[in-house]
Amino acid sequence: MQSMARKGSSGARRNSAFTLIELLLVAVVLGMAAGLAAPRLSALLPRLRLQDGGRHVIDAVRTAQTWATDRGSDVVIEYDLVAREVRLVAAGAPAEDMPRLPALPEGVRLSGVRLAADSRVTEGVATVRVHAGGYVRPHQVELFEPKAGRLLVDVHGAMARIRRD
Protein backbone atom coordinates (compact mmCIF):
# COMPACT_ATOMS: atom_id res chain seq x y z
CA MET A 1 0.00 0.00 0.00
CA GLN A 2 2.83 2.33 0.61
CA SER A 3 3.96 1.95 -2.98
CA MET A 4 0.50 2.96 -4.23
CA ALA A 5 0.47 6.07 -2.03
CA ARG A 6 3.81 7.13 -3.42
CA LYS A 7 2.64 6.72 -6.99
CA GLY A 8 -0.49 8.70 -6.30
CA SER A 9 1.39 11.55 -4.63
CA SER A 10 4.03 11.82 -7.36
CA GLY A 11 1.30 11.76 -10.01
CA ALA A 12 -0.42 14.69 -8.26
CA ARG A 13 2.81 16.65 -8.35
CA ARG A 14 3.23 15.99 -12.02
CA ASN A 15 -0.28 17.25 -12.84
CA SER A 16 0.12 20.48 -10.83
CA ALA A 17 3.04 21.75 -12.98
CA PHE A 18 2.73 23.58 -16.30
CA THR A 19 3.96 21.88 -19.43
CA LEU A 20 6.23 23.60 -21.92
CA ILE A 21 3.38 23.71 -24.46
CA GLU A 22 1.11 25.50 -21.97
CA LEU A 23 3.80 28.08 -21.22
CA LEU A 24 4.44 28.65 -24.93
CA LEU A 25 0.73 29.07 -25.56
CA VAL A 26 0.49 31.72 -22.83
CA ALA A 27 3.53 33.51 -24.30
CA VAL A 28 1.93 33.53 -27.78
CA VAL A 29 -1.36 34.91 -26.43
CA LEU A 30 0.45 37.66 -24.50
CA GLY A 31 2.50 38.51 -27.59
CA MET A 32 -0.65 38.82 -29.68
CA ALA A 33 -2.27 41.08 -27.08
CA ALA A 34 0.82 43.30 -26.99
CA GLY A 35 0.84 43.44 -30.80
CA LEU A 36 -2.76 44.63 -30.84
CA ALA A 37 -2.15 47.25 -28.12
CA ALA A 38 1.03 48.75 -29.63
CA PRO A 39 -0.67 50.70 -32.47
CA ARG A 40 -3.12 52.22 -30.01
CA LEU A 41 -0.30 53.32 -27.74
CA SER A 42 1.65 54.87 -30.62
CA ALA A 43 -1.47 56.81 -31.65
CA LEU A 44 -1.81 58.08 -28.08
CA LEU A 45 1.77 59.44 -27.82
CA PRO A 46 1.24 62.58 -29.97
CA ARG A 47 -1.75 63.62 -27.83
CA LEU A 48 0.27 63.05 -24.66
CA ARG A 49 3.13 65.19 -26.05
CA LEU A 50 0.65 67.94 -26.89
CA GLN A 51 -0.86 67.82 -23.38
CA ASP A 52 2.67 67.95 -21.95
CA GLY A 53 3.35 71.04 -24.08
CA GLY A 54 0.27 72.68 -22.57
CA ARG A 55 1.55 71.92 -19.09
CA HIS A 56 4.91 73.49 -20.05
CA VAL A 57 3.14 76.74 -20.95
CA ILE A 58 1.15 76.74 -17.70
CA ASP A 59 4.34 76.04 -15.72
CA ALA A 60 6.06 78.97 -17.48
CA VAL A 61 3.21 81.32 -16.51
CA ARG A 62 3.26 80.13 -12.90
CA THR A 63 7.05 80.42 -12.72
CA ALA A 64 6.84 83.99 -14.06
CA GLN A 65 4.14 84.86 -11.51
CA THR A 66 6.20 83.44 -8.65
CA TRP A 67 9.35 85.21 -9.82
CA ALA A 68 7.53 88.55 -10.21
CA THR A 69 5.84 88.44 -6.81
CA ASP A 70 8.94 87.19 -4.96
CA ARG A 71 11.14 89.94 -6.40
CA GLY A 72 8.51 92.67 -6.67
CA SER A 73 9.28 93.42 -10.31
CA ASP A 74 7.64 92.79 -13.66
CA VAL A 75 8.59 89.79 -15.79
CA VAL A 76 7.97 89.28 -19.49
CA ILE A 77 7.04 85.90 -20.93
CA GLU A 78 8.44 85.55 -24.45
CA TYR A 79 6.74 83.03 -26.71
CA ASP A 80 9.28 82.55 -29.51
CA LEU A 81 7.31 81.01 -32.37
CA VAL A 82 10.41 80.57 -34.56
CA ALA A 83 12.71 78.96 -31.98
CA ARG A 84 9.70 77.07 -30.53
CA GLU A 85 10.49 78.00 -26.95
CA VAL A 86 9.18 79.97 -24.00
CA ARG A 87 11.52 82.31 -22.09
CA LEU A 88 11.29 84.63 -19.11
CA VAL A 89 12.90 88.08 -19.18
CA ALA A 90 13.06 90.65 -16.38
CA ALA A 91 14.27 94.23 -16.69
CA GLY A 92 17.61 94.64 -15.00
CA ALA A 93 18.05 90.92 -14.32
CA PRO A 94 20.83 89.08 -16.14
CA ALA A 95 19.61 86.22 -18.31
CA GLU A 96 21.53 83.69 -16.19
CA ASP A 97 19.56 84.75 -13.10
CA MET A 98 16.22 83.95 -14.75
CA PRO A 99 14.71 80.49 -14.29
CA ARG A 100 15.46 78.08 -17.14
CA LEU A 101 12.29 76.70 -18.64
CA PRO A 102 12.23 73.22 -20.19
CA ALA A 103 11.90 72.90 -23.94
CA LEU A 104 8.58 71.96 -25.48
CA PRO A 105 8.22 68.24 -26.17
CA GLU A 106 9.53 66.90 -29.48
CA GLY A 107 7.12 67.57 -32.34
CA VAL A 108 5.09 70.21 -30.46
CA ARG A 109 5.33 73.78 -31.70
CA LEU A 110 3.93 77.15 -30.74
CA SER A 111 1.61 78.09 -33.61
CA GLY A 112 0.19 81.34 -32.28
CA VAL A 113 -0.52 83.63 -29.35
CA ARG A 114 -3.74 85.63 -29.11
CA LEU A 115 -3.16 88.74 -27.03
CA ALA A 116 -6.58 90.31 -27.53
CA ALA A 117 -9.73 89.59 -29.51
CA ASP A 118 -8.24 91.22 -32.61
CA SER A 119 -4.52 90.63 -32.06
CA ARG A 120 -2.94 87.28 -32.94
CA VAL A 121 0.81 86.70 -33.31
CA THR A 122 1.70 83.81 -35.65
CA GLU A 123 5.38 84.49 -36.30
CA GLY A 124 8.28 86.05 -34.46
CA VAL A 125 8.07 86.63 -30.71
CA ALA A 126 4.94 87.38 -28.71
CA THR A 127 5.48 89.00 -25.32
CA VAL A 128 3.18 89.04 -22.29
CA ARG A 129 3.89 91.08 -19.17
CA VAL A 130 3.49 89.61 -15.69
CA HIS A 131 3.12 92.45 -13.18
CA ALA A 132 4.96 92.52 -9.87
CA GLY A 133 1.78 91.46 -8.07
CA GLY A 134 1.54 88.32 -10.24
CA TYR A 135 -1.24 89.53 -12.56
CA VAL A 136 -0.86 88.23 -16.12
CA ARG A 137 -2.45 89.90 -19.11
CA PRO A 138 -5.11 87.53 -20.47
CA HIS A 139 -3.90 85.65 -23.52
CA GLN A 140 -4.26 82.37 -25.34
CA VAL A 141 -1.40 80.16 -26.52
CA GLU A 142 -1.97 77.76 -29.39
CA LEU A 143 0.15 74.63 -29.63
CA PHE A 144 0.24 72.26 -32.58
CA GLU A 145 1.37 68.67 -33.06
CA PRO A 146 0.92 67.27 -36.60
CA LYS A 147 -0.68 63.97 -35.56
CA ALA A 148 -2.67 65.31 -32.59
CA GLY A 149 -3.87 68.69 -33.87
CA ARG A 150 -4.25 71.91 -31.88
CA LEU A 151 -4.36 72.60 -28.18
CA LEU A 152 -5.26 75.95 -26.60
CA VAL A 153 -3.96 77.23 -23.28
CA ASP A 154 -6.12 80.03 -21.88
CA VAL A 155 -4.45 82.35 -19.38
CA HIS A 156 -6.66 84.76 -17.43
CA GLY A 157 -5.13 86.70 -14.57
CA ALA A 158 -3.99 84.13 -12.03
CA MET A 159 -5.59 81.14 -13.78
CA ALA A 160 -4.56 79.04 -16.75
CA ARG A 161 -6.31 76.06 -18.29
CA ILE A 162 -5.82 73.69 -21.19
CA ARG A 163 -8.58 72.95 -23.67
CA ARG A 164 -8.78 71.00 -26.91
CA ASP A 165 -9.80 72.88 -29.99
- Residue-level pLDDT at 41: 67
- Residue-level pLDDT at 153: 94
Condensed to tens digits (0 to 9), the pLDDT of residues 130-155 reads 999 889 989 999 999 999 999 999 99
Residue 90 is given by DSSP the state: -
**Cβ burial 62-97 (10 Å sphere, 16+ → b, else e):** ebbbebbbeeeebbebebebeeebbbbebeeeeeee
**Strand-pair partners of 129:** 76
Q: Which residue from 149, 152, 147 is spatially nearest to 163, judged by alpha carbons?
A: 152
Query: What is the C-alpha to C-alpha distance for residues 51 and 5, in angstroms, rounded to an integer?
Result: 65
Question: Angle at the Cα of 122 (from 119 to 123), degrees rounded to 5?
Answer: 125
95 dihedral zone (left: phi>0; alpha: psi -120 to 50; beta):
alpha
Counting residues of the chain whose pLDDT is more than 70, the rounded percentage is 86
CATH of 2-164, one of 1.10.10.60, 3.55.40.10, 3.30.360.10, 3.30.565.10: 3.55.40.10
Query: What is the C-alpha to C-alpha distance for residues 62 and 99, in angstroms, rounded to an integer?
Result: 12
pTM over the 0.75 mark? no
Condensed to tens digits (0 to 9), the pLDDT of residues 155-164 reads 987 777 888 7
Taken in order 19, 25, 31, 33, is the CA torsion positive or negative? negative
- Residue-level pLDDT at 2: 52
